[in-house]
Amino acid sequence: MNILFESQNGTGYITINRPDKLNALNIDTINELKETILKVDQDKTIKCVIITGSGEKAFVAGADIEYMQKLTPNQALEFARLGQETLHLMETSGKPFIACVNGYALGGGFEVALSCDIILAQSNAKFGFPEVGLGIIPGFGGTQNLSRLIGKSLAKELIFSAKMIDASKAKEVGIVSEVYQSKEELLQAGKALSEQIQKNAPLAIALAKRAIVDGFNLTKEDGLRYEASLFGVVFSSNDAKEGLSAFVEKRKPNYTGG
């Protein structure tokens, strides 16, 4: 299987598993990833998801070039649409997705990471879009997500130059939240962050994520109205009643996600 999945204590672990190909994405891998994300999104026992790559060298080293070389223009269009649709599922899921980037995150791999809510990285991580050096462009959302994250100018520089940046530079420009020395430390940090997130109300997290993701393309005024509307929605939930009551009563809340 190209995608491995397991869950422990409310955390779902997705591992892209093609280490002999540096976890490069072909259509089978993307379809498996899509199926896994849909499964995770429907599983109420999973509150947070961690994505990483198998082996020590790569998170995902990009799309499988040997596969892409055989595509017709129409097939390439469908491949891009499938990749975009799959990664968009992470962006629109009510559950937080954490990318634990070990090694190369290039092209499609960088796009997988950018579609997650939080990116943590090992010190050996390398980020980049090499596509223009191959005569193509990013096709799984990279041109849109990177520019929205770090601004047009720097996004253009990275995409036009096809150069790679290391984990420390990625943290400096706001792509990565934290950097860890070993893969073990990286995954432990991802687990700890997931556990911290799970202490909070699942519905509130889902609505806060929706406010950020959906509100990003709105004007500030429209974004504020949207935030206020979701603020009103969450107040009708049992979790809001529980959280506020627990605070007043000085006890730990027991959230059910409703």
Active site residues: 111, 131
Helix (H, G, I), strand (E, B), or coil: what is residue 56?
Answer: coil
**234: helix, strand or coil:** helix
Closest C-alpha to 140, from 119, 114, 111, 105? 111
Query: Dihedrals φ, ψ of 251, to 5°?
Result: -140, 170
Q: Taking each helix axis as running N to C, give the angle between helix 73-92 and helix 27-42, from 0 to 180 degrees, rounded to the nearest 10.
A: 20
CB-CB neighbours of 120 under 10 Å: 27
Tokens of 165: 């940046």
Cα–Cα dist 11/47, whole Å = 6
Q: How far apart are CA 114 and CA 110, in angstroms?
A: 6
Structure tokens, 15: 């591992």
- Three-state DSSP class for residue 200: coil
Tell me which H or E stretch contains 4.
Answer: strand 3-8
Smallest CA-to-CA distance from 118 within 157, 152, 91, 78 is with 91
